[in-house]
Amino acid sequence: MVEFFQQVVGGIETGSMYALAAMGLVLIFQTAKIINFSQGTLGMFMAYVCTGLILDLGLPMWIAVPVSMILAMVLGALIDRFLMNGKRNITNLNREMITLAIIMIFQGLAPMLFGANETPFSKFINTSALDVGGVKILPNSILIIGITCVIMAVLFFVLEKTTLGVAVRATASNPQVARLQGIPVKKVTIGAWAVATALGCLAAVMVAPLKNVTVSMMESIHLNSFIASVLGGFSTFYGPVVASFIIGIANNLLGYYVSTKWSLPLLYALILLFIVLRPNGLFGKKIVKKV
Amino acid sequence: MSQVLSVDHLSISFGGLRAVDDLSFHIDRHEIYGLIGPNGAGKTTVFNCITQFYKPDTGEIRFTDQAGKEHLLNGMPAHKIIHLGLVRTFQNTEIIRELPIIDNVLLGAHTQFHAGTMANMFAMPWARKQERELRKKAMDVLAYVGLDKIANEYAGAQPYGVLKLIELGRTLMCDPSLIILDEPAGGLNDSETERLTELIRGIARDRHCAILLVEHDMKLVMSLCDRICAISFGKKLAEGTAAEIQQNPLVQDAYLGKEDEA
Amino acid sequence: MRLIRNKYFQYLLVGVVFLLPVIIRGVPTATVTLAASMVYTAIAALGINVLLGYSGQISLGHAAFMGLSAYLSAYLTKQMDLPFLLSVLIAVLVPMLIGLILGAIAVRLEGFYLAIATLGFGEILRQLFIEMDWFTGGFSGASATYPKVFGHTMSKNEMYIFMVCLLVVLMMLVYNFVHSSSGRAMIAMKSSKTAAMAMGVNVFKYKLTSFAISSVFAGLAGVCYVHFFRHVDPSVWTAALSLNLIAIVVIGGLGTVGGAVVGAVVMHGLPELMKGLPVVGEIPGVPLLIVGILMIVMLIFYPRGLIYIPRDIKNFFQKRASRAKKGEA
């Protein structure tokens, strides 16, 4: 029983990181209607930047991380403003191709600017694990889960209860109509990109202690955030987030009770099966096309 | 049986909205039949139900082919309908913009091509022969609708009126017994509409097929249709000849406008 | 001039150009290796072009098909000692069958969902490659030899010639396919599923067909890979490769036969070119960076694909000529 909860807690922690990345994906997808394939790579790059701030500039972690997130927002905004909307009528497919190219650029830039060596990254809190009824939880993990919950709460509050949120949801629902209503759709997408990139940065910084800062550090989070978006369905903001936690927990449980080698492929296979039966994901809604 | 299509007690709802309500009508062979009604009355929905793009909640749709065999259309996959000789056009002119006009028309003959993937890949002589023959037929159709001069132009570059004609030509390729036209004159000016009216009349006469059309242009409807069905809010208001429909008070009320009170 | 317009002739020319490294004496073997990379990538990209360019479906898992057939062919020829042609047949048929299954799943999914489902599928297969080391040799990979056909073992150059001929033949087959009723049905399906269905196109069947074709091509590419490079390991068959294939097709020209080849040449050739440059070539990451930048420039300013460049140049000069004529009149 103790082991069960141990795995669940671990799953919530990894699920948090997936959720942050997935939230970034769905924000951009809903507002700009494209898949940002570079989400993980940008996070990786910002983790390098953060490392640089800590090691070269000597900034403490609790300053370096927020600063990196702000820099990430600037980067995301610039990408949307100049690359995504540089020319008027780029097709969405081509925009997605551009995000692929962005992967190449930043995977090239990272070793160029920061060197090709793996750099360790310390956790937010380094104290040892607490014992809660036999389940060992690191304070760092609690912090990660806590930060994620707070951020999710803030984002959903903004989306549901503020005018800004209405603007975002209107853009997500129908950009042309939103524009007619006076909503600055361009600014909304820039904002979405900014927030999404910051979320990617945060996820990268959270996973950095586990994987070290290297070019491939975000691969697993990146992949799983995509799978979570499919499972949760892209038509809601909360879908992928919920699915992220499901994936995190399920992966851990499958790993413990079945096999660690096969947990992920097995999970993917199950999700694939699920998608065949419910093509719109857990929370997706089917839209009937009008002919 | 001289009927080509019979619709019995057709109903379909979307969410809580009853789009089509217990609608029944039939179309005879070689008849030009019109469906009129105000915007949102459910006319295109009726078409979509007949052609199985939507699955009706209740009602039966029966179609009798060239050979006289009767088919129940309900539950048939949408792509099998054309095999029976029932073909349609779309309100939004579903044209393949990336292809030349003649290829668009050739698409209408898709069901007549025998060649499968392998035969096509290896350019089997018999496959190429059939392609040549059907291409010639497509040119004849294009000549009939007056587009043969621009057969190789890309469809995407054409004006709206031409797109409508391409769609019309496309329907002729399968030698249909019933053509469903969804607002064929939509967006056309007066002279284009006149040409279209003559074209439709010619098609019904020369190709011995029935035509079911939805149109807002009353002049076209009244001059072309043998019988007309007027619907409103998914329900049938009246059915009859052009003259009868024009005089029907219910129809006038809902659609044509009341007579001015003196 | 007529002859040059004929597409078959053009594809033969492409083949000849690719054969130059083996015809001309004194060309370093590294060039042949580079060219071989371009050829097998082009073959896979041709398949992706059918899938994405003509039927509008995204797959991010096709690298897995390439890997599967590579491992299969290596295993069948080496461990089971089957004749080359037979093992190629099997090595291509298996991905095709799996591709059909994936296609059946794909019918229910569109756009993004399809992309990610195929991505997950590719990852599952890649994990299988690592785990099933009795078959694949795990992380250290599997090896194969130059193929032995009719008692004659091919040399490296002969294998390369075989690959080039295969590419040319496949280009012709794709061209035939696209300009037939099947190709029309697929293009129609991509552009307007509604119109296609109303005209009798069985969308399900054609989606399956395009998955089958693209997985066969990916399988052929994998076979070429393993019998030319003679070694294969799981690190090659990643989602990044699948993404690369899509990038190749888009950069080269989506929906064109030559686009796949042009894209493959550029995507392999450019980084190599970069590495060869003095100073710049030494710094790690620069080739990737430059390719990425070029890709963005292309996508923003020349999105239809590199293959349209000759036509646009021709149009440009024709317009100038006709304007000059009008000026004189």
> How far, in whole angstroms, is CA A235 from its chain's centroid?
17
pTM score of the predicted model: 0.86
Per-chain mean pLDDT for chain B:
89
For residue A123, the 8-state DSSP code is: -
**Mean pLDDT confidence for B234-243:** 89
Output the average pLDDT for chain C.
86
Contact assessment for residue B47 and residue C165, using Cβ atoms and an 8 Å cutoff: no
Total structural domains in chain A?
1
Is residue A171 a part of any domain in this protein?
A: yes
Which of chain B's residues have a Cβ under 8 Å away from the Cβ of C194?
Answer: 53, 90, 94
Name which of C110, C112, C121 is nearest A272 (Cβ-Cβ): C121
Could you tell me the two tokens for C125? 């297969």
Contact residues, chain A, for C250 at CB < 8 Å: 93-94, 97
Cβ within 8 Å, pair A291-B44:
yes
What are the chain C neighbours of B120 within 8 Å (beta carbons)? 176-177, 180-183
Residue numbers in B near C182 (CB within 8 A) = 115-117, 120
Q: Which residue range is the domain that position A102 belongs to? A: 2-215
What one-character DSSP code corresponds to residue B123? Answer: T
C21 lies within 8 A of chain A by CB: no
Residue A255 lies inside a defined structural domain of this protein: no
CA B77 – CA B81 distance, rounded (Å):
7
In 3D, which of A43, A45, A49, A46 has the Cα closest to residue A22? A43
Q: To which H or E segment does residue A226 belong?
A: helix A219-232
Instruction: Choose between A288 and C325: higher pLDDT.
Output: C325
Contacts of A239 (CB under 8 A, 6+ apart): A26, A229, A232, A233, A281, A282, A283, A284
Instruction: Name every residue in A having a CB less than 8 A away from some CB of B.
Output: 288, 291
Q: Considering the domain boundaries, does residue A91 fall inside one?
A: yes
Query: Would you say how long chain B is, in residues?
Result: 262
Helix (H, G, I), strand (E, B) or coil at A221: helix
Any domain includes A238: no
Q: How far A47 CA lies from chain C's nearest CA (Å)?
A: 17
Q: Would you say residue A243 lies in a domain?
A: no
In tens, the pLDDT along C48-74 reads: 999 988 888 888 899 999 999 999 998
- B53 and A288 within 8 Å at the Cβ level: the answer is no
Interval C134-139 mean pLDDT: 78
In tens, the pLDDT along C215-241 reads 999 999 999 999 999 888 888 888 878
- Count chain B–chain C contacts defined by CB atoms under 8 A: 94
Among all residues of chain A, which has the CA nearest to that of C112? A35
What's the confidence (pLDDT) of residue B79?
A: 93
Cβ neighbours, 10 Å, residue A124: 17
- Which segments of A49-144 are extended strands (E)? 130-132, 135-137
Q: Which of C7, C181, C220 best probes binding to B when mutated, by most B CB atoms within 10 angstroms?
A: C181
Domains and CATH numbers, chain B: 3-261 (3.40.50.300)
Domains assigned to chain C: 2-328 (1.10.3470)
Domain membership flag for residue A116: yes
CA geometry: angle A261, A45, A264, nearest 5 deg: 15
Q: Helix A185-211 to helix A163-173 angle, to the nearest 10 degrees?
A: 100
Q: Is A263 a member of any domain?
A: no
In sequence order, the 6+-apart residues with CB closer than 8 A to the CB of A265 are C123, C124, C127, C128
Query: Which of C180, C195, C198 lies closest to B115 in CB terms?
Result: C180
Contact list in A for residue C112 (CB cut-off 8 A) is 29, 35, 229-230, 234
Closest-CA residue of B relative to C202 is B79
Contact A291 B14 (CB under 8 A): no
Candidate from B81, B96, B115 with C-beta closest to C192:
B96
Q: How many residue contacts between A and C have a Cβ separation below 8 Å? A: 129
Q: How far is CA B248 from CA B30, B42, B230, B240, in A?
A: 25, 20, 10, 9
Give chain C's length.
329
Contacts of A291 in chain B (CB under 8 A): 44, 48, 53, 90-92, 94
Residue C250, chain A, CB below 8 Å: the answer is: yes
Q: How far apart are CA A189 and CA A194, in angstroms?
A: 8
Strands B70-72, C152-153: pairing kind = unpaired
Q: Where are the beta strands (DSSP E) in chain A?
A: 130-132, 135-137
Q: Which residue has the tokens 């056009």?
A: B89
* Contact: B94, C173; criterion CB under 8 Å: no
CA distance A144 to A20: 11
User: Does the distance separating the beta carbons of B91 and A291 come in below 8 Å?
Assistant: yes
Q: What is the Cα B48 distance to its own chain's centre?
A: 11
Residue C206 CA to residue C213 CA, distance in Å, equals 10
Give B100's DSSP letter.
B
Q: Which pLDDT tens digits describe chain A residue by residue (291 residues)? A: 788 888 898 899 999 999 999 999 999 988 888 889 899 999 999 999 999 898 888 888 888 999 999 999 999 999 998 888 877 777 777 888 888 889 889 988 988 888 878 888 888 877 888 887 778 888 888 888 999 999 989 988 888 888 888 888 888 888 788 888 888 888 888 999 999 999 999 999 999 988 888 888 888 898 889 888 888 887 788 889 999 999 999 999 888 888 887 788 888 888 878 877 777 778 776 655 555
What pLDDT was estimated at residue B258?
54
Structure tokens at A244: 């992220």
**Which among C188, C202, C213 has the least Cβ separation from residue B96?**
C188
| The pLDDT of residue B40 is above 80 | no
Distance from C181 to chain B by nearest Cα, in Å? Answer: 7
- Using a CB–CB cutoff of 8 Å, tell me whether B2 touches chain C: no
Give CA–CA dist A175/A32, Å, rounded.
9
Query: In a 3-state reduction of DSSP, which class is residue A31?
Result: helix
Q: What is the phi/psi pair of residue C52, to 5°?
A: -90, -50
Whether A225 maps to a domain, the answer reads: no
Closest approach of A289 to chain B, Cα-based (Å): 10
End-to-end CA distance of chain B: 48
Question: C-chain residues within 8 Å CB-CB of A102?
Answer: 292, 296
List chain A residues with CB under 8 Å of C113: 230, 234, 275, 279-281
Q: Do A291 and B48 touch (CB under 8 A)?
A: yes
| Chain-chain contact of A281 with C113 (C-beta, under 8 angstroms) | yes
With helix as H, strand as E and coil as C, how does chain C read? CHHHHCHHHHHHHHHHHHHHHHHCCCCCHHHHHHHHHHHHHHHHHHHHHHHHHHCCCCCCCHHHHHHHHHHHHHHHHHCCCCCHHHHHHHHHHHHHHHHHHHHHHHCCCCHHHHHHHHHHHHHHHHHHHHHCHHHHCHHHCEECCCCEECCEECCHHHHHHHHHHHHHHHHHHHHHHHCCHHHHHHHHHHHCHHHHHHCCCCHHHHHHHHHHHHHHHHHHHHHHHHHHHCEECCCCCCHHHHHHHHHHHHHHCCCCHHHHHHHHHHHHHHHHHHHHCCCCCCCCCHHHHHHHHHHHHHHHHCCCCHHHHHHHHHHHHHHHHHHHHHHHC
